[in-house]
Amino acid sequence: MKLTDIQSKVHSTFFKEHQKKLYQSLEDKHTTIEELDDGDPLTSKMILNMGPQHPATHGVLRLVLQLNGESIEKAKLDIGYLHRGVEKIAENKTYQEFMPYTDRMDYLSPYSNNVALCQAVEKLANVEVPERAHYIRMIGCELARISSHLLWLGTMVMDAGAVSFFIWTFKEREKIYDIMDRLTGHRFTVSHARIGGVANDITDEAMGAIKEFAETFPQELRDYHKLLDRNRIFIDRNEAVGVLKTEDALRFGATGPVLRASGFGLDIRKFAPYARYDEVEFKIPTRMEGDNLARYFVRMEEMSESVRIINQCIEKLPKGPVRTDNAKQAYPSKDEVYYSMEGMIHDFMMTDTGICPPEGAETYCAVEAPKGELGYYIQSDGTGHPWRLKVRAPSFANLQVLENIIDGEMVADTVVIIGGMDPVMGEADK
């Protein structure tokens, strides 16, 4: 028997078993939604598979819905269609080699992922980061937050029926991509953070583009509010839809804007400050309603606060190096590599072996990514690559919430609720 035939047979057997267990878990799921059975043909029950080949489910998220007419009685989520084994790959890479892989997890906010990993390694290996690098990282992270929220806004409003709004939000995202190109050399997967700092300093051209964006974007944000805040169609599609109570948000492990829109104002930038977030002033947007509309208002206010943080970082940006000057902990500058034998040797050693934290050391370090708490847990065996690396991805946590709040909703609201949760399957299916 050919290898391809064996693989096909194994896959077929696995998928059949997987299907059987998934439908059994749907049948066994307990819900507080009352089941209707009044003989009306319009309330007949059926099982509906939504996704994974569905544009509104990001092409890789599958929902199995038990319907009673147009109401959802029970829902189960089936993920894993984008699984790439990123955490296992990390165990076979040096810490710095693995960093570009983090761009491909939450690919709407790659800068946050870069910083999260680098901070975890710096904490594990006791690496000092220059002040200027901290502020550059904060500027990059807040630009990434705005970019991520803009895509959420455009797609969520489009799911509610307004296609043109998607184009308007992407106009501003293009400006951020241009800034990232000037700042990091890449538009999308930036790979700008380095263990011990950042890859390169911020240029005058990049600084000018950031200042211009911070000056003009608030007006764009005000225009978004004017169009949506009192729009009857938008309000009707989102108000009292996908309601998540505070106690349920905590019980299910919600994080980020999803948690804050349910009345629990937890933001790691405030409660466990990293970089230099304790030296800038900003508010934590919080709402009590817990519905899709509340999640909209929280993210809109967060974009405004991000602009406020960026302006403060520009004012406070100190002069100095952007990467630690320790050959055992960080890559040397290209000038050293090209014109110094020692620099070339250090560059080779960092590429071949990498930074080596103490054997037995372990750490957990988290940042407030656009979607919530993004944490890295690392265990070291004393070599240049992690013995274990696990990622606490906010989209994965919030999908647990989605499976529960969708019960009792109308099937027509499913797409809008998914948009309101704002999952990115690249990090959920890590």
Specify the higher pLDDT residue, 40 or 429: 429
User: Of the candidates 103, 22, 118, which has an alpha carbon nearest to the alpha carbon of residue 430?
Assistant: 103
β-strand pairing of 45-50 with 62-68: antiparallel
Inter-residue contact 241 to 409 (CB < 8 Å): yes
What is the dihedral sign for C-alpha 330, 335, 338, 341? negative
| Highest-scoring range by mean pLDDT, 19-33, 47-61, 260-274, 404-418 | 260-274
Distances (CA, A) of 337 to 145, 188, 202, 255, 342: 34, 27, 21, 43, 8
User: Of the candidates 71, 78, 139, 150, which has an alpha carbon nearest to the alpha carbon of residue 409?
Assistant: 71
Specify the higher pLDDT residue, 34 or 424: 424
Mean pLDDT, residues 206-220? 97
- Bond from prior residue into 321 cis (ω within 30 degrees of 0): no
| pLDDT computed for residue 33 by the predictor | 59
Rounded CA separation 347/343 (Å): 6
pLDDT per residue as tens digits for the range 57-98? 777 899 999 988 888 999 999 988 888 889 999 999 999 999
pLDDT per residue as tens digits for the range 102-117? 999 999 999 999 999 9
* 39 has a pLDDT exceeding 60: no
Coil vs helix vs strand at 156: helix
Q: pLDDT-derived band of residue 161, with 50, 70 and 90 as boundaries?
A: confident
pLDDT per residue as tens digits for the range 318-360? 999 999 988 888 888 877 888 888 888 888 888 888 899 999 9
Mean pLDDT, residues 131-157? 96
What is the DSSP secondary-structure string of 93-109? S-HHHHHHHHHTTSTTS
